[in-house]
Chain A
Amino acid sequence: MPSALVNEYFRTNKLPQIWCPGCGHGIITRAITAAIDKLGLERDKICIVSGIGCSSRAPGYMDFDTLHTTHGRAIAFATGVKMANPDLKVIVITGDGDATAIGGNHLIHACRRNIDITTIVFNNNIYGMTGGQYSPTTPKFDKGTTAPYGNIDKAFDIPALAAAAGATYVGRSTAYHTQLLISLIENGIKNEGFSLIEALSVCPTYYGRKNKKGSAVDMLEWQKDHAVNISAASKMTPESLEGKFLIGEFKNSPEPEYTSEYQKIIDRLCKE
């Protein structure tokens, strides 16, 4: 028997999952179900939508209404689901390439609308499914199969992008900082509006190997040693923040939600 959580929320007959040994995606996927469990949401009113890539295989393992769409389009499909049936809690699972390269336009517009969708970006800094090409979050000068001499593109800061585009709840955690990740996802789902949680994953197979980052364990240790919670960062000197990255809740500023605003139009017209 699997654990009670896994038994409850996973399609256990589809396990074990296809991800490589040590891939952080399984940790993040479990964290999502833990957040759903804590919130006690109505099980049959949850719809999980994904695009294409390693991360987007997650919904296939999760026992909800699940929608595995085309590359980059998860948020656009999810927008249709949510608009047509606002009673559904819609969660998007996407990757760094899926969400910010091919799906970048859909991402910023969903942020702008503040439609009630919680998007969790599994960021492994690489295109894993196709074998290790550099992505919009591959750090500058790191290598990918399509950046054999080092990547000269500047990486996206996904939470900053989402916050600037209008998302009303934004946070970042890592596969290592799993408890924080669960609480951010919980708060993201609770936020009535567009929430984005960047979950830094680890890809030991492609990104790790190409860039000599060691094993999955080494990569998680790196996350542990280099992450600074935003609440602690304000008390730290710039020198001590050198080479670190921030995690935690970056934005929590509720605004009117899109489908509720549309419902107001319907209600007003139906009164006329």
Chain B
Amino acid sequence: MKSKARLMQGNEACVEGAIAAGMKFFAGYPITPSTEIAEIAAEKLPRVGGKFIQMEDEIASMAAVIGASLTGSKSMTATSGPGFSLKQENIGYAALAEVPCVVVDVQRSGPSTGLPTSPAQGDIMQARWGTHGDHPVIALTPSSVRETFDLTIRAFNLSEKYRVPVILLMDEIIGHMRERVELPDAFEIEIVNRKKPTVGRDQYLPYKADEDLIPPMANYGEGYRFHVTGLAHDETGFPTNSPAMADKLYRRLMDKIEMHKDDIIQWEEENTDDADVVIVSIGGVSRAADTAMKQLREKGYKVGTFRPITVWPFPEKRLLELASKVKTFVVAEMNLGQIALEVERIIKDKAELKKVNKVNGEAIYPEEIIARIEEVL
């Protein structure tokens, strides 16, 4: 039934994906341009035996999501820039306590209330470093309605697999865009569930990682009677003041993502084989980049595109390979140069870097990218 083509909004596809992934709990707070996600979740979740709650604020929403996840429910919250700022406190908690959860940020213009609710991509760095302290994070960015569906499922799968908060970094363009999509049937969708302990309560060490650096996770209410804290803890889960144990924990949290980078990182590239110029972009801007590339190709210019689907960790290895043969990277983004910072860090002086930036609340148009590239060529 679900495989029938439908006209669907990005935000709706996000909820469809979440439910397909097994989401059973959503806590949120109204904020444009993400509100449809809460509205649709409120309507759909009780129909599949799931729970929706509108909390008193964004901080509480993030807290409730973590609490629900600890009972074994796959949980999600959705927000936009101002709310994303508020959620950072407990995103840090989820990262440290290794509680799987999905946080959707439909980016809008900021800082502060900014230009409600025009599109922007100003939360790239906040998605990576928004909460204090070194911490692991995964952030995914869709650039179509169908991909929003797919990446929401993937966000759940990665968060369950690696016990890490996963940020679905959308932008207003994708969130509010409507496209005709055909969703896959349930049997076609790969679902990943968190690793469960294979030992009883007496032997269970809730933060003792396996060789893959990920500890198996019990649910509250199953008789394991374990402790979860936001303090630095040892393998037992109880607080420690030991410098050695704290060091071991913090490094493992980062290493568990580093170790599995190849599984986590996805990107898409087109016409990069012979490209002199490669446009780097994410989300809504990638649609303009694609049009720009095609128009320039028609004019005979050797232009390609590179689109990180996983923004964090960034597809560093592939970008570096491209840097050895590409003359110029043009980074187009709806901010004043956040992805460009990461690209610059990776390519160093191996290739030239040019930027297309826009922060006036309007989308980046193909002509603007074309104009910048024509300056180069």
Interface residues of A (CB under 8 A from B): 14, 43-45, 47, 49, 59-60, 63-70, 73, 76-85, 87-88, 105-106, 109, 262, 265-266, 269-270
Contact = CB atoms under 8 A, between A and B. Distances in A.
A65 B24 contact: no
Given A76-B63, A85-B220, A68 B227 contact: yes
Given A68-B230, A83-B53, A76 B225 contact: no
The secondary structure that dominates the B interface is mixed
A35 B143 CA distance: 55
Contacts of B238: 14, 60
B67 A44 contact: no
Contact of A67 (B27, B60, B64, B228): B228
Contacts of A85: 71-73, 220-221
Interface stretch (B44-52, B115-123, B168-176): B44-52
A76 B60 contact: yes
A272 to B, nearest CB: 8
A-B pairs with lowest CB-CB distance, top 6: A80-B67, A80-B64, A84-B68, A76-B63, A76-B60, A80-B68
B222 interface: yes
A77 B220 contact: no
Contacts of B69: 80, 84
Nearest to B49: A266
A60 B68 contact: no
Nearest to A89: B221
A64 B64 CA distance: 20
A81 B219 CA distance: 11
B222 A66 contact: no
Contacts of B90: 70, 73
Contacts of B71: 81, 84-85, 88
B51 to A, nearest CB: 5
Contacts of A49: 67
Interface of B: 24-25, 27, 46-47, 49, 51, 53, 55-57, 59-61, 63-73, 75, 89-90, 93, 220-231, 238-239
A53 to B, nearest CB: 13
B169 to A, nearest CB: 23
Given A60-B227, A63-B225, A84 B24 contact: yes
A65 B230 contact: no
Most buried by A among B27, B69, B220, B225: B220
Contacts of A78: 67
A167 to B, nearest CB: 15
A45 to B, nearest CB: 6
Contacts of A84: 24-25, 51, 67-69, 71-73, 75
B239 A69 contact: no
18 contacts: A60-B229, A60-B239, A64-B225, A65-B225, A66-B225, A66-B226, A67-B220, A70-B93, A73-B59, A73-B63, A79-B63, A80-B27, A83-B64, A84-B75, A85-B72, A85-B220, A106-B63, A109-B56
B15 to A, nearest CB: 16
Contact of A73 (B27, B60, B224): B60
Contacts of B49: 266, 270
Most buried by A among B46, B57, B93: B46
B46 A76 contact: no
Contacts of B27: 79-80, 83
A105 B57 CA distance: 9
Nearest to A64: B225
Contacts of A266: 46, 49
B60 A109 contact: yes
Contacts of B226: 65-66
A105 B294 CA distance: 53
Contacts of A87: 221
Given A83-B68, A84-B71, A87-B221, A77 B63 contact: yes
Contact of A47 (B60, B89, B220, B223): B220
A78 to B, nearest CB: 6
A80 B75 CA distance: 9
Contacts of B222: 44
Nearest to B67: A80
A68 B67 contact: no
B175 to A, nearest CB: 24
A44 B221 contact: yes
Contacts of B228: 66-68
B196 to A, nearest CB: 15
